[in-house]
Amino acid sequence: MKFFIATKNAHKVIEFKRILEPMGIEVLCERDLPFSLPDVEEDGTTFEENATIKAAFACEKTGMVSLADDSGLCVDALDGAPGIFSARYSGVHGDDKENNRKLLRELEGVPYEKRTARFVSAVACVFPDGRKFTVTGKCEGHIDFEEKGENGFGYDPLFVGEIGCFGLASGEEKDKVSHRGKALVMLRDELKNYI
């Protein structure tokens, strides 16, 4: 079975492949297409809405079952920010270093026990016949005082979960506990009702 992953983030493609291919799902991405997909405006107010917008657009353009993830970091001391704006928190989309710097500035003076946060990943699946569903995975943790490690991407070097700092964890270690790993296991289970 072939699924199209609607993302331009190469790190997410790697995670999707690592988690979905053992399930017997062939993962295709934009580089497998004979054309480029334009960006779609993510104007939803939740992770679920934005994931569905991206997956529906990709399904319409490719004619394939399409998956899209919208994910981010929600920090309690910042009233849930950066939330759905995680990738562009610093004002430039996808600038991980600057996003992390801004997060550390915003949390300056906040003690560790109050730096609670969670990663959230909503994965939407849209079928060419109009059927669709979303699943949402969460991973609880804290925000550290400095970046650690070179693994992962985004806020991983600052996020401390049950396996320690995500920036120090291997991809396989992270998949077992991460928001996206949890969402993709839910996706696999939900797909049994659709295939």
Q: Mind telling me the catalytic residues?
A: 70
C-alpha to C-alpha distance for 20 and 29, rounded to whole angstroms: 13
Bridging pattern class, strands 26-28 and 116-126: unpaired
Residue (of 139, 155, 148, 6) closest to 70 by Cα position: 6
Give, in order, the Cα–Cα distances in Å from 88 to each of 27, 56, 108, 153, 188: 26, 22, 20, 14, 29
**What is the DSSP code (8-state) at residue 39?**
P
For tokens 């079952």, name the residue. 65
